[in-house]
Amino acid sequence: MCLHIDMMNPGIPGVCMMLVMMMTSHPVKAPPVEMIFDGRDQSLTSMPEEIPHNTTTILLQQNRIFQLECAKFYGLLQVSKLNLGENQLSTIPPACFGSLINLQYLYLDSNNISVLTNSSLLQMTKLVLLNLNNNYLVELPPGFFADLISITRLELEKNVFTGE
């Protein structure tokens, strides 16, 4: 059984928060709670101002975000999934996601990213999935995967790797 509660976030028109509680048959154990910040397909051109600190999933795909404002990720210690696919990002600032200490799933597909540096994904030790499909990547620098010690799925289709 799944219970959905939608609450409109007054600070961002059209963006809603969803509380999802997965009920289990075990009567003693408290059900896991997932807080979803859903800003999909809202024509956003910048990062939302206020994402609640108890958020576990951030959905910002299908917008027009062209620049990451890394400070807006500070304090979001419970985020395990971040979807920034289908935006207009061209760069990832150094260690931008470093404060998302529990991030496991990162979707950066269908953007305009052409260069990633060794510091783009610093401190991402819990990341298991990285989706960089459909960008303009030519190469990944040596040592790029140094901090990605938990990665099990890497998606790089439809880029322009040179093969040198």
Half-sphere exposure of 113 (CA within 13 A, CB side): 31
Say whether 51 sits in a helix, a strand or coil.
Answer: coil
Cα–Cα distance measured from residue 6 to residue 26, given in angstroms and rounded to the nearest whole number: 26
Span 63-108, pLDDT tens digits: 999 999 999 999 999 999 999 999 999 999 999 999 999 999 999 9
The per-residue pLDDT for 90 is: 97
Cα–Cα distance measured from residue 36 to residue 17, given in angstroms and rounded to the nearest whole number: 6
Class of domain 1-22+31-164: alpha beta
109 CA to centre of own chain = 10
The per-residue pLDDT for 140 is: 93
Sorted by where each begins, the domain ranges of the chain are 1-22+31-164
Q: What is the mean pLDDT of each run of 10 residues along the chain (164 residues)?
A: 37 49 52 89 95 97 97 96 98 95 98 95 95 97 93 97 76
